[in-house]
Structure 1
Amino acid sequence: MSSNKVMRKLALVLLMSAATQVVAAPVSAANLDSLERMLEAQGQVQLQMQRRLEQMSSDIDELRGNVERNSYEIKKVVDRQRDIYREVDNLSRQPAKAEPTDAKKEATSSEAFSSNTDENAAYEKAVNLILKEKDYKGATKAFQSFLTTYPNSVYKPNASYWLGQLFFAQNQLADAATNFKVVADTKDSSKRADALLKLGVISERGNDIATAKKYYQEVIKAYPNSTSANQAKTALTKLK
């Protein structure tokens, strides 16, 4: 046999022997420890990620709940203001005796007209902000200015009533009550029945049920055939 063939056979035997040793060699303890630590670390990372995901999900659910609650509360406020503004608008359209000016339309036979032309003009301007321009914020400022300038005006009960309505529409109940009480203390005011009813509503919202009943009962007693009395009866029924 030639020397070249002998060398090739020897090399092949050595290669096969080395391959067999590599395949058959056992994994060392150090390698096992390293692999276990790697798997444990990976498990810890996955656990932390899972916890973070769960916390994020919980936070998102809480935020969603807050958004839904806030949206509901805002909707209630908007709906309440819309209803009250509609009521203000409806009241402003109630029939009245034909008179040359809106200021006179607001007065009744038991309420005198002012001889002061500036006073009449100021009151009429404030009224028109409600009746014609629907500028409720502007009307609020105008009536406040009117009552400051003319504190003893013959239009004071009417101005206080409209100011009470405007504050009521904005849910400023304390200011609304202050103005409605001015009307309630004016026995001959054409708006006294509704002012008493509103005072009852304000008391009810403030959880002063005894005072609310008192106002409702006064409306029913003093104005038994009025729309305000019917509303007061309904309100009383719900309180029982």
Structure 2
Amino acid sequence: MSSNKVMRKLALVLLMSAATQVVAAPVSAANLDSLERMLEAQGQVQLQMQRRLEQMSSDIDELRGNVERNSYDIKKIVERQREIYREVDNLSRQPEKAAPAEEKKEPASTEAYSSNVSENAAYEKAVNLILKDKDYKGATKAFQSFLTTYPDSVYKPNASYWLGQLFFAQNQLADAATNFKVVADTKDSSKRADALLKLGVIAERSNDVATAKTYYQEVVKSYPNSTSAQQAKTALAKLK
């Protein structure tokens, strides 16, 4: 064997021996400290990430709850608004069944007509906002404006009645009562029977049973054959 080949084999043996010693050598304390710090740092990062994820999850749950509550509230508001519109619409369609001679149907009219063309037009416009356009908010404003502009109008009892109906349907009972009382104080109004009935209902809802009975009894006494009287009798029977 040549001397070159011997030298190469010797070099390979030395390299393999050195490599074996490096692999087999124990890890130093410094390396352990460094590795421990790295693991600890990684643990802190993972802990922070976990906390952020938990916070995000909590925030998402809270947002989801808010969205669900808001959706429920909006749904109830929409349903209530639809009920209001249906109630006002039904009320406007109900015929007046009168026992006494003074009770009449209202073809957007009242017991008398005004000689003031503008006054007639303003009243007709307000009524049509209910009966034709179903614009109840617009009708409320129109009737309020009408009564402000024409406080002594021959249409005042009927305008007050319509306002009472609109407020009643929206559960604004105090405003409804104020307008129904105007009608109740007008003895020859074709709307008086229903206005008295509504005043009884409002008093009953306000837990004023004595006043409710008084209004119901007045309806039965003054308008015995009317639809309002039948409803008043039913209400009185429930209060006993």
TM-score normalized with structure 2 length: 0.77
Tell me which of the two structures has the higher relative contact order, counting C-alpha pairs closer than 8 angstroms and 6 or more residues apart: 2
> Which secondary structure state, in structure 1, belongs to the residue aligned with residue 133 of structure 2?
coil
Aligned to 1:139: 139
| Structure 1 residues 26-59: Cα deviation after superposition (integer angstroms, max 9, x where no partner) | 1111111111111111111111111111122212
Do 1:219 and 1:229's aligned partners in 2 also have CA atoms closer than 8 Å? Answer: no
Following the alignment from structure 1 to structure 2, what is the Cα–Cα distance between the partners of residues 214 and 59? 53
Q: TM-score, normalising length from structure 1?
A: 0.77
For residue 199 of structure 1, what is the aligned residue in structure 2? 202
Q: Please, what is the CA RMSD of the aligned residues?
A: 2.9
SS across alignment from 1:157: helix
Deviation for aligned residue 1:85 = 1.4
Per-residue deviation, 1:74: 1.9
Q: Give unmatched runs, 5+ long, in structure 1.
A: none
Q: Percent identity?
A: 77
| Equivalence for 2:16 | 16
Which deviates the most, 162-171 or 80-89?
162-171
Provide the residue aligned with 2:149 in structure 1: 149
1:127 counterpart residue number: 127
Q: Which is worse superposed, 64-73 or 20-29?
A: 64-73
Secondary structure (helix, strand or coil) at the match of 1:226 reads helix
* Structure-2 change in CA distance of 1:175 and 1:193 (3 Å): closer
- Structure 2: state its 5+ residue gaps: 97-103, 221-228
Residue 231 of structure 2 is aligned with which of 224, 227, 232?
227
Report the alpha carbon displacement of residue 196 of structure 1 after superposing the two structures with TM: 0.8
CA contact (8 A) 1:193 1:228 kept: no
Residue 226 of structure 2: aligned partner: none
Aligned equivalents of 2:54 and 2:165: distance in 1? 50
Distance in 1, matches of 2:25 and 2:185, equals 107
Mapping for residues 76-155 of structure 1, pairs under 5 Å: 76-96=76-96, 97=104, 102-104=107-109, 107=110, 111-155=111-155
Q: Are 1:180 and 1:195, in contact at CA under 8 Å, matched by a contact in 2?
A: yes
C-alpha separation between the residues in 2 aligned to 1:229 and 1:55?
62
SS of the residue corresponding to residue 47 of structure 2 reads helix
Alignment: residue pair count: 222
CA 1:41 to 1:128, structure 2 compared with 1: closer, same or farther past 3 Å? same
Distance, in Å, in 1 between the alignment partners of 2:117 and 2:85 is 30
Distance 1:46 1:115, change over 3 A: same
Q: Is the 8 A contact 2:217 2:232 kept in 1?
A: no
For residue 193 of structure 1, what is the amino acid of its counterpart?
L
